[in-house]
Amino acid sequence: MVLAPLFATTMCTFMFPVLLFLAAVKLWEIYCLSSSDPGSGFPLPPGSMGLPFLGETLQMVLQRRRFLQMKRRKYGFIYRTHLFGKPTVRVMGAENVRQILLGEHKLVSAQWPSSVRTILGAGCLSSLHNAEEHKRKKKVILKAFSREAFQHYVPVIQEEVRGAVDRWLQNGACVLVYPELKRLMFRIAMRILLGFESYRINGEDERQLGEAFEEMIRNLFSLPIDVPFSGLYKGLKARNVIHAKIEENIRAKISSQNTHAKYKDALQLLIDHSEKNGEQVNMQELKESATELLFGGHETTASAATSLVTYLGLHQDVLQKVRKELQSQELLCSNNQDRLIDLDILGRLKYIACVIKETLRLSPPVPGGFRVALKTFEIHGYQIPKGWNVLYSICDTHDVAEIFTDKEEFNPDRFMSSYLEDFSRFQYIPFGGGARTCVGKEFANLVLKIFTMEIAKGCDWQLLNGPPTMKTSPTVYPVDNLPTKFTLFNGKV
């Protein structure tokens, strides 16, 4: 007789909350799906909307690639979810991604999560919705990525990379590659994209800005809740530190009006464009654009360069091929260690270009891109409702691309084939595609080519922990920071 009341009490204590939770999840699912278009004639993609209000954001932030791979196995190339406060459809595969990327301004528009837009700002290139405004601003920034400008960038990049390699060799012990490369690429971006002179980047400024950038990037993808100690609050606080330093540089540029500079950096071009059109310089917009340039110009290249060190360290046969190519161009000789290179020489390094392509295929720094549906449309038999976010996947599209054989193998030779050049437009998209193709694509390739050349001819290295575990937040990086021992290369191939 005593057991009956005890059983009833247990059921009320434990089962009722569980049933209440399951009911809440079901109601949340119904609520999220209520924004679908009943007149579409196509069903919503398969998937789930996760927990009430939180959706599946926490799972994706914590598990990243493992979470995304699990979703792909369960639901296929198109599925629905709820991320960063909005119902979302995730898309992968060449044909599906092609429809999204070529549908810019017609079917979709670029729209990053609320936290990204809040931290980076509405004035940066990636946040602009108006097609003409985006095209105008992109055209101005592209002047900083012209061949003429690149000629001036090469010696600056080479100087910074050589300085970093020398420090690693002098260290003699363990070097944490990923933090080192973030510092290196940050200095390069500061000098080339924002026009900071090397003598103006003192150690304290570099440390403060670097720490602020780390904090901002760490909280870039967070829940859109701006309260003390939240991710968004921390990200905005760090962003304000960066803006203050950038504003100093902008005011210095405006007051100096250096018309004899060898080249004009992207920030100077934006200032000149405003003055040429008789517009008042919009300080906030310039700070946002500069912050975006710094983020795009160093975070992604640091990720890609770290992957290059990893793959070349694990595949000595590929590193030897790189050195043979350098030797064929007389770039490996000891008496040519101080030789300055130019774009023509870099253009002849075809195999190194393939090594970079293969690295970006296996480990694209940015895993995908966000869009928002401008109207309800159909893709592969499913409806994408108006107002829903669309997340196209770069890493998964590479994983499922039919054009690549032995996908898990690191094989740069695959890119020596003209077949891939002709048919891989949307099966290989490390820089995105369409109207929103990464504006710094060629700059990133330039930096990575010089970096690969300098480390291959300057040193040997050993990955102390072997193949690293990789995470994404928001770019791909090794969990252990890739501890590595560098030694001087003996010059023998």
**Nearest-angstrom CA–CA distance, 475 and 370:** 14
Q: Within 10 Å of residue 352's Cβ, how many Cβ atoms?
A: 23
Task: Reduce the DSSP state of residue 147 to 3 states and report it.
Answer: helix
Q: Taking the CA of residue 285 as centre, how many other CA atoms within 13 Å lie in the half-sphere pointing to its CB?
A: 13
Angle at 179 between CA 174 and CA 180, to 5 degrees: 65
Please give the DSSP secondary-structure letter assigned to residue 381: T
Specify binding-site residues: 438
Pair 45, 57: CB distance under 8 Å: no
**Nearest-angstrom CA–CA distance, 297 and 192:** 9
Q: Within 10 Å of residue 52's Cβ, how many Cβ atoms?
A: 16
Direct distance between the N- and C-terminal alpha carbons of the chain, in angstroms, rounded to an integer: 87
For residue 474, say if its preceding peptide bond is cis, omega within 30 degrees of 0. Answer: yes
Pairing of strands 389-393, 86-91: parallel
Show Cβ contacts of residue 112 under 8 Å, excluding neighbours closer than 6 positions: 120, 126, 127, 370
Pair 209, 463: CB distance under 8 Å: no
What does the buried/exposed string (b/e) look like for 382-420 if buried means 16 or more CB atoms within 10 Å of the residue's CB? bbbbeebbbbbbbbbbbbbbeebeeeeebbbebbeeeeb
Q: Which two tokens stand for residue 295?
A: 């983020």
Angle at 377 between CA 127 and CA 108, to 5 degrees: 10
**Nearest-angstrom CA–CA distance, 288 and 31:** 36
Pair 322, 452: CB distance under 8 Å: yes
- Residue type present at position 63: Q
Show Cβ contacts of residue 74 under 8 Å, excluding neighbours closer than 6 positions: none
Specify binding-site residues for heme: 438
**Nearest-angstrom CA–CA distance, 427 and 80:** 22
Q: Within 10 Å of residue 146's Cβ, how many Cβ atoms?
A: 11
